[in-house]
Homo-oligomer: A and B are copies of this chain.
Amino acid sequence: MSDNAASVHPKVWAAMQAADAPDAPYDGDGLSRALDAAFADLFGRPCAVVWVATGTAANCLALAALVPPHGGVICHREAHVETDECGAPAFYTHGAKLILADGEGAKLTPATLDAAIGQIRKDVHQVQPHAVTITQASEYGLCYRPAELAALIGRVRDHGLALHMDGARFANAVAFLGCSAAEACGPVDALTFGCVKNGGMGAEALVLFDPALADHVRIRRKRAGHLQSKGRYLAAQILAMVDGGLWLDNARAANAAAAEIGAAAAGRLIHPVEANEVFVRLSAAERAALRQQGFAFYDWGDDAARFVTAWNARALDVAALSRAVAAL
């Protein structure tokens, strides 16, 4: 019951195997070179796409391109970059500071952004912000609506800041919002377009809407040891996700499973269920009972659990978990 370690989707396997014939190394192969056009189609505007193996690398390469070592990045205090990347942002940016902001459900708002910036004296003794990073869907599975996003991005730009979106579960957000990829993303500078949690094996797409950033990111990717010599296998995974809408199909399946579990746990939900994560109030005894029945999930603090559904959540498993939760 996790998207992070789920199986690879058969279409992704097929695409990787189809890439087996030798081609140019690194990202000079035909598949890698097809990425820019595929994503320009998807987002309806020009972009450059750089593959990397992990979301952490994608996020941090983006931040390193947007923020100087002496600058700061505003993020939610529960953002993945702050809580789960072991200091990778500081490593990649050479010490830029994460400036923590608040917001319900791990989403920033114009007001919480202003508050974070308002605390900073504009002098050389305090780190000045250069960029903002937001997560779509958020760490609690909540999605920025296009209008919310537009308002937030407007404020980001009023402050003269760059903007990155961590889209580890971007597909789940788009599936939930029912809007276009472009609407779910807005005019950000860089987007981490997640594939691994959505049926991929080991490839994420870093989408850069400013080509100058791409040159920078490509050098930094090599410098970080992330330029794989057989890059065509990564490109193949990403293209398989985008081709024919597999990314949305998989996300819809995961979201549907989460919705079913959420409905069963209606009175216990900590957050509304939007994407593929369900946060449920459960006592230690209840969690033990579920685990005894064979269900796997993360503890979330002392009295809750986090369930994450994947593209391949089997109907039977989901129904069984839903019944078990409802029966508690």
Measuring CB to CB, which residues of chain A are less than 8 angstroms from any residue of chain B?
2, 4-8, 13, 17, 20-26, 29, 52-60, 68-70, 72, 83-88, 90-92, 94-97, 124-128, 196-197, 201-202, 216, 218-230, 232-234
Instruction: Across the A-B interface, give the 7 residue pairs with the lowest CB-CB distance, nearest first.
Output: A57-B225, A90-B95, A56-B225, A5-B25, A94-B94, A124-B222, A86-B222
The reply to whether A25 and B2 form a contact with Cβ atoms under 8 Å apart is yes
Closest residue of chain B to A120, judged by CB?
B83
The reply to whether B70 and A220 form a contact with Cβ atoms under 8 Å apart is yes
The reply to whether A54 and B227 form a contact with Cβ atoms under 8 Å apart is yes
Q: How far is the CA of A20 from the CA of B312 in the complex (A)?
A: 12
Contacts A56-B222, A56-B225, A86-B223 supplied; 14 other A-B pairs, CB < 8 Å: A4-B25, A4-B229, A5-B22, A7-B20, A54-B227, A68-B216, A70-B220, A86-B124, A86-B125, A86-B127, A86-B222, A87-B127, A124-B219, A201-B230
A72 to chain B, nearest CB (A): 8
Closest residue of chain B to A202, judged by CB?
B228
A90 partner residues in chain B, CB cutoff 8 A: 90, 95-97
Q: Given the known A-B contacts A5-B23, A70-B219, are A202 and B53 also in contact in the complex, defined by CB atoms under 8 Å?
A: yes
Q: Given the known A-B contacts A94-B95, A124-B219, are A54 and B87 also in contact in the complex, defined by CB atoms under 8 Å?
A: no
A19 to chain B, nearest CB (A): 9
A107 to chain B, nearest CB (A): 21
The reply to whether A223 and B87 form a contact with Cβ atoms under 8 Å apart is yes
The reply to whether A91 and B126 form a contact with Cβ atoms under 8 Å apart is no
Specify which of A222, A225, A226, A227 lies most central, judged by the most chain B CB atoms within 10 Å of its CB: A225
Q: How far is the CA of A124 from the CA of B70 in the complex (A)?
A: 25
| 9 contacts across the A-B interface (CB closer than 8 A) | A4-B229, A5-B25, A8-B20, A70-B91, A87-B127, A88-B224, A91-B223, A92-B225, A95-B95
Specify which of A8, A25, A56, A232 lies most central, judged by the most chain B CB atoms within 10 Å of its CB: A56
Closest residue of chain B to A58, judged by CB?
B225
The reply to whether A13 and B17 form a contact with Cβ atoms under 8 Å apart is yes
Q: How far is the CA of A54 from the CA of B52 in the complex (A)?
A: 12
A234 partner residues in chain B, CB cutoff 8 A: 202
A212 to chain B, nearest CB (A): 13
The reply to whether B224 and A225 form a contact with Cβ atoms under 8 Å apart is yes
Q: How far is the CA of A26 from the CA of B68 in the complex (A)?
A: 23
The reply to whether B95 and A91 form a contact with Cβ atoms under 8 Å apart is yes
The reply to whether B222 and A125 form a contact with Cβ atoms under 8 Å apart is yes
The reply to whether A52 and B225 form a contact with Cβ atoms under 8 Å apart is yes
Q: How far is the CA of A91 from the CA of B91 in the complex (A)?
A: 9
Q: Give the contacting residue for A53; candidates B53, B55, B68, B96; CB below 8 A.
A: B53
A29 partner residues in chain B, CB cutoff 8 A: 5
